[in-house]
Amino acid sequence: MTRQEILNELKKVISPYTTNKEMLAGINENTDLIKDLKINSANLVDIIIDAESNYDIEIDYDDADKMMNVGSCIDIISQKIAQK
């Protein structure tokens, strides 16, 4: 998957957890999940679990704590896909 394809999928994963749909529509790799998309930190765990299920990967906690913006999410997801 390309980074753009992962980003497009990620948008769907994130969507249930943000009310800021305008910002979601225009997300890029620098978009911060908490500061920009106003996602509650408790929902970051949901996003990680949904991403695991969506991409059939496992994200451990050392990786999860780096998933603060869209770019770092894509980094981790693409690494995990490559390791499959």
Q: Choose between 52 and 75: whose C-beta lies nearer to another protein.
A: 52
**Nearest approach, Cβ of 2 to another protein (angstroms)?**
27
Which of 25, 42, 83, 84 is close enough to bind another protein by CB under 8 A?
42
Which of 9, 52, 71, 75 is close enough to bind another protein by CB under 8 A?
52
16 near another protein, judged by CB under 8 A = no
Nearest Cα to 76, choosing from 3, 26, 17, 5? Answer: 3
Q: What phi and psi, each to the nearest 5 degrees, are found at residue 2? A: -80, 165
Residue indicated by tokens 């050392």? 62
Coil, helix or strand for 2?
Answer: coil
75 near another protein, judged by CB under 8 A = no
| Helical packing angle, 41-55 and 70-83, nearest 10° | 30
Footprint of another protein on this chain (CB under 8 A)?
Answer: 19-20, 34-35, 38, 40-42, 45-46, 48-49, 52, 61-62, 64-66, 68
